[in-house]
Structure 1
Amino acid sequence: MDTSVDRWLTFEGLDNVRDVGGLPVRGGGRTRSGVLLRSAALRAVTPADVARLVDDFGLRLVLDLRSPVEIERDGPSAVARAGVETVALNFIGASREILPEAGDTTDPVLRNYLGYLSDHPANVAEGVRRLAAEDAGPTLVHCAAGKDRTGVLVAMVLDAVGVERDAVVEDYVLSATQVEAIFKRRAEVLGEPVPDDIDVHKPRAEVMVAVLEHLDAEYAREPGRGGPEGGAAGWLRTNGLADADLERLRVHLTSTG
């Protein structure tokens, strides 16, 4: 399954940018283009990038998933200064600092991802709620590299609206092709050295598969209530989203045409 066609977007100062439109939905249909973008941090966007996002894409909302420390270091983005509403939703919490118990062989990246959901469930749910709002407009979601925190939130959204699992995972893995460029940009802007081993920072399909399987197992819908079982939708219901929110999200992001 190729989910990358016509979804990559090239900007002067912004990396790992793609539209999540065009992905196949279970039972038919596709995700809509021009509704949701995902990217790395906005710290180096140029005036031309801002104009393209605001004027061409019609950007109305940015969901910034970085930590308070990252946000304070970089200051407001040029996109925010242009008047686009920017909502900070930190995903990183205490579980990132907890060492695994003796004998715990859980993949550390998987542990981090599940930590986002356990440490800051209200922020994860709020990100989805914003996308499901009645007046929701074109939105961009980003973190630092646009692959981990952004990858988890986008996967939750895509799974909740019924995107085929293979496509959810493949969209997540696509960021692997951009990791080197992301680190080179960070070196230019922040002066951080490029890691010696780039490969260890690349998204791996098995990690996102494990996240989604965990959600299936832990958050299945109660018997007799109807509708899809488990997955991100089950987690989101448990954490405060109503069926009406999830239906608006589905209508907003998918098309049967």
Structure 2
Amino acid sequence: MPFLSRVHRKTAAHDALFSQSSILAGVPRMALWQNNGKKPHEKGHTMAQNYWGDELPSRVDLPPAADPARPGYGRIDFDKLPNTRDLGGMVGAGGRRVKHGLLLRSGTLGFGSPTDIDRLRDDYDLRLVVDFRNLIELSELPDPMDLIAGARYLHAEIFSDSQVGVTQEHEKTAFEYKLEAMAQGDPVEFMTLLYPHMLIDETGINGYRSFVRAVLDVEEGAALWHCYVGRDRCGMGSALIETMLGVSRDDILADYLATNLYAPIDLTLDSPASICYFEAIERALEPHGGFKGYLTGTLGITEDEIAAFRERCLED
């Protein structure tokens, strides 16, 4: 399907790459999210296949072999949540590892089966759900918070439909430039231009600040954050949490790229997680001091808060 065919209104440029609110190739997105009934690839993936046995083009970046302490990049074997993963097992500051069952990244919970939601509530003692989606996405598929008693729900919108640049004039220029990139059939260029806005625009700063502070406030039980697929907005949120824990840059990148193994190929093939997107974020954050400087400077997280977070979430 032509990449530009999904753009049907001004805000659809966001929907096409982030919320995927359109119908793809005539197939309802729920069917796509459930991998069309596919079983996991029994022989495991190769560099040319994802976890579900789908053939991937050579342009799709895949992570290196997973750490034995975090097999499958932390993927949890849920029925209908293919890209829900536990950060547990990642190597953090001082060689200590992230505890299992405390920090979960995911796609939207609205696709979860009743058993999936029960497991999150009971097995993981879920206490916080952070939703990075925009209001359009929320209205289409809300999280089943009524089934997760005791969990706080935080809507932390990262990429609003009304804000692309710093000013309305800049917004128009940026939007038209990105549409031109899309019209030329270059979704990589589009995403490279769009990615940094997640973290440096006002909406993104406020959203990620609220997210990080909410995670820091969790004293027991698990915190989970998600966007739609569990790739872009969720991926950058995960990078911030992993940075606070002292995870290496290479491991953060590998965790980000692992989405290409698990998210439904029909929802990600036009714009899979990419090294160039990650590097675009890094370049945008250079004036902020990188991910760490962004946390302490832009978001206002203190070193004492980071130390306390590591004490809670890391173990020998």
**TM-score, with structure 2 as normaliser:** 0.66
RMSD (Å) for aligned C-alpha atoms: 2.6
2:292 aligned residue: 233
- Alpha-carbon distance between aligned partners in 2 of 1:109 and 1:156, rounded to the nearest angstrom: 20
Return 101-110 or 172-181, whichever deviates more: 101-110
Identical pairs, percent: 25
Determine if the alignment matches structure 1 residue 252 to structure 2 residue 312.
Answer: yes
- Alpha-carbon distance between aligned partners in 1 of 2:312 and 2:191, rounded to the nearest angstrom: 31
Question: SS in structure 2 opposite 1:144?
Answer: coil
- CA deviations on 1:82-105 (whole Å, 9 max, x unpaired) are 322211100013117633769999
Determine if the alignment matches structure 1 residue 78 to structure 2 residue 144.
Answer: yes
1:41 aligned residue: 108
- Alpha-carbon distance between aligned partners in 2 of 1:60 and 1:218, rounded to the nearest angstrom: 35
Q: 1:62 to 1:182 in 2, by over 3 A?
A: farther
Give the counterpart of 1:157 among 214, 229, 241: 241
- Alpha-carbon distance between aligned partners in 1 of 2:219 and 2:244, rounded to the nearest angstrom: 19
Q: Which has the larger radius of gyration?
A: 2
Q: 1:143 to 1:134 in 2, by over 3 A?
A: closer
**TM-score, with structure 1 as normaliser:** 0.79
Q: Does the CA-based 8 Å contact 1:80-1:86 persist in structure 2?
A: no
AA of the residue aligned to 2:198: Y
Question: SS in structure 2 opposite 1:159?
Answer: helix
Question: SS in structure 2 opposite 1:132?
Answer: helix
2:209 aligned residue: 125
Determine if the alignment matches structure 1 residue 169 to structure 2 residue 239.
Answer: no
Determine if the alignment matches structure 1 residue 99 to structure 2 residue 175.
Answer: yes
Q: Does the CA-based 8 Å contact 1:170-1:205 persist in structure 2?
A: no
Q: Does the CA-based 8 Å contact 1:37-1:141 persist in structure 2?
A: yes
1:147 aligned residue: 231
AA of the residue aligned to 1:60: R
AA of the residue aligned to 2:314: T
- Alpha-carbon distance between aligned partners in 2 of 1:73 and 1:109, rounded to the nearest angstrom: 24
Q: Does the CA-based 8 Å contact 1:145-1:182 persist in structure 2?
A: no
1:5 aligned residue: 71
Question: SS in structure 2 opposite 1:37?
Answer: strand
Question: SS in structure 2 opposite 1:57?
Answer: coil
Tell me the CA shift for residue 108 of structure 1. Answer: 2.7
- CA deviations on 1:62-84 (whole Å, 9 max, x unpaired) are 01110011112223x22444322
Tell me the CA shift for residue 181 of structure 1. Answer: 5.5
Tell me the CA shift for residue 137 of structure 1. Answer: 3.2
Question: SS in structure 2 opposite 1:139?
Answer: strand
Runs (4 or more) in structure 1 with deviation over 4 Å come to 100-106
2:118 aligned residue: 51
AA of the residue aligned to 1:21: G
Structure 2: gaps spanning 5 or more residues: 1-63, 166-170
Return 105-114 or 137-146, whichever deviates more: 105-114
Tell me the CA shift for residue 5 of structure 1. Answer: 0.9
Q: Does the CA-based 8 Å contact 1:89-1:127 persist in structure 2?
A: yes
- CA deviations on 1:89-131 (whole Å, 9 max, x unpaired) are 0001311763376999994323333111122201101111111
Give the counterpart of 1:112 among 194, 199, 206: 194
Q: Does the CA-based 8 Å contact 1:157-1:232 persist in structure 2?
A: no
2:55 aligned residue: none
Tell me the CA shift for residue 241 of structure 1. Answer: 1.8
